């Protein structure tokens, strides 16, 4: 049985972060006369996306912020999606805009994301946000990697000089994660599907961030004793006998790694809850910047 001290409780950390965000909202309201507002756009009727949008809306309201939900039919044209985004860009009550991905196949995702005002880009996915992150200037950082950074800093404090590996180079997770770790003065290795001898590279690392989307691919004996492991992956195993749904597992073989690592995030209950908490954090920060206020402290 794993020692609890080795388990990074993302659920508890995210709950604390959400409580601090909620506590910061009244001061913003007092200064501006309105609550921070987050608009979420859902195109089509993908059931998983509808669930995500619903839980984002609930979390927004629970933090004392205004939630605006916009749904377009799966048949919406590129022009219709971009027109809605431009309308939200111009809406003074909206501080953050989240376009729920993936979009239906006939739409150009990159062009749609690029239509979002970078100052309201709480998902951190516009070219301007990505460029700012690469340049090391303040901007909006994608929620999942930012959540991973917060968990690492909470555990380790200063990350300077740590040897970090990020497995996966997606625009959503891997690439911004690498930039954030570099910004925190880690020595960063970016690994991907063409990387040679991945186990040897992972064995060198003080910090391992796995964002691959392959169930339990990172093995326990790849982990350096004492390393910190952040498992972003969410994979559902096939249903076993008598189960209606298979178990959720990460990209790391948790049962084996938990005995070797200094600390590791479980799946579920690790990185997952941090994503929505960081979305609210980004909305709060965007609202302050748009109102010409200093960034709220401690986020």
The answer to the question of residue 99 lying near ligand NDP (CB under 6 A) is no
The answer to the question of residue 212 lying near ligand NDP (CB under 6 A) is yes
User: DSSP assignment of the chain, as one string?
Assistant: ---GGGB--HHHHHHHHHHHHHHHHHHHHHHHSS--EEEEEEES--HHHHHHHHHHHHHHHHTT-EEEEEEE-TT--HHHHHHHHHHHHH-TT--EEEE-SSPPTTS-HHHHHHTS-GGG-TT--SHHHHHHHHHT-S----HHHHHHHHHHHHHHS--TT-EEEEE---TTTHHHHHHHHHHTT-EEEEE-TT-S-HHHHHHH-SEEEE---STT-B-GGGSPTT-EEEE---EEPPP-TT-SSPPEE-SB-HHHHTTTSSEE--SSSSSHHHHHHHHHHHHHHHHHHHTTPPPPTT-
Residue 66 or 101: which CB sits closer to ligand NDP? 101
**Applying CB under 6 A, which of residues 179, 275, 282, 283 lies at the interface with ligand NDP?**
275
The answer to the question of residue 172 lying near ligand NDP (CB under 6 A) is yes
Residue 170 or 187: which CB sits closer to ligand NDP? 170
The answer to the question of residue 202 lying near ligand NDP (CB under 6 A) is no
Q: Total number of residues binding ligand NDP (CB under 6 A)?
A: 25
Active-site choice (121, 123, 206, 251):
123
Is 123 designated active site? yes
Name the residue whose CB lies closest to ligand NDP: 170
The answer to the question of residue 169 lying near ligand NDP (CB under 6 A) is yes
Q: Which stretch in 79-87, 120-128, 192-200, 257-265 sits in contact with ligand NDP by CB under 6 A?
A: 192-200
The answer to the question of residue 174 lying near ligand NDP (CB under 6 A) is yes
Is 100 designated active site? yes
Q: How far is the CB of 273 from ligand NDP (least distance, A)?
A: 8
Please give the structure tokens belonging to residue 222: 């790849």
Residue 41 or 212: which CB sits closer to ligand NDP? 212
Residue 84 or 173: which CB sits closer to ligand NDP? 173
Active-site choice (95, 100, 162, 224):
100
Residue 169 or 288: which CB sits closer to ligand NDP? 169
Is 162 designated active site? no
Looking at the annotation, which residues are catalytic?
56, 100, 123
Query: Residues in the site for ligand NDP, rule: CB under 6 A?
Result: 144, 167-170, 172-174, 191-195, 198, 211-214, 232-235, 271-272, 275
């Amino acid at each position: 049985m794993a020692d609890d001290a080795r388990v990074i409780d993302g659920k508890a950390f995210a709950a604390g972060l959400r409580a601090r965000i909620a506590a910061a909202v009244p001061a913003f309201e007092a200064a501006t006369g309105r609550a921070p507002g987050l608009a979420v756009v859902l195109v089509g009727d993908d059931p998983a996306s509808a669930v995500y949008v619903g839980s984002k809306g609930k979390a927004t309201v629970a933090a004392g912020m205004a939630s605006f939900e916009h749904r377009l039919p799966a048949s919406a044209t590129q022009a219709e999606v971009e027109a809605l985004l431009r309308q939200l860009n111009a809406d003074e009550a909206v501080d953050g805009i989240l376009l729920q991905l993936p979009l239906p196949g006939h739409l150009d995702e990159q062009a749609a994301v690029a239509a979002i005002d970078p100052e309201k880009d709480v998902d951190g996915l516009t070219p301007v946000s990505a460029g700012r992150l690469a340049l090391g200037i303040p901007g909006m950082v994608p929620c999942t990697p930012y959540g991973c950074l917060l968990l690492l800093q909470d555990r380790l404090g200063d990350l300077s000089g740590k040897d970090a590996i990020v497995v996966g180079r997606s625009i959503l997770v891997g690439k911004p994660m690498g930039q954030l770790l570099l910004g925190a003065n880690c020595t960063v290795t970016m690994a991907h599907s063409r990387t040679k001898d991945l186990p040897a590279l992972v064995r060198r690392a003080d910090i391992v961030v796995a964002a691959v989307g392959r169930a339990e691919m990172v093995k326990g004996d790849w982990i350096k004793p004492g390393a910190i492991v952040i498992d972003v992956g969410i994979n559902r195993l096939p249903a076993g006998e008598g189960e209606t749904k298979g178990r959720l597992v990460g990209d790391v073989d948790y049962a084996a790694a938990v005995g070797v690592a200094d600390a590791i995030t479980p799946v579920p209950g690790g990185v997952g809850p941090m994503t929505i908490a960081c979305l609210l954090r980004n909305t709060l920060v965007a609202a302050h910047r748009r109102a010409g206020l200093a960034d709220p402290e401690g986020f």
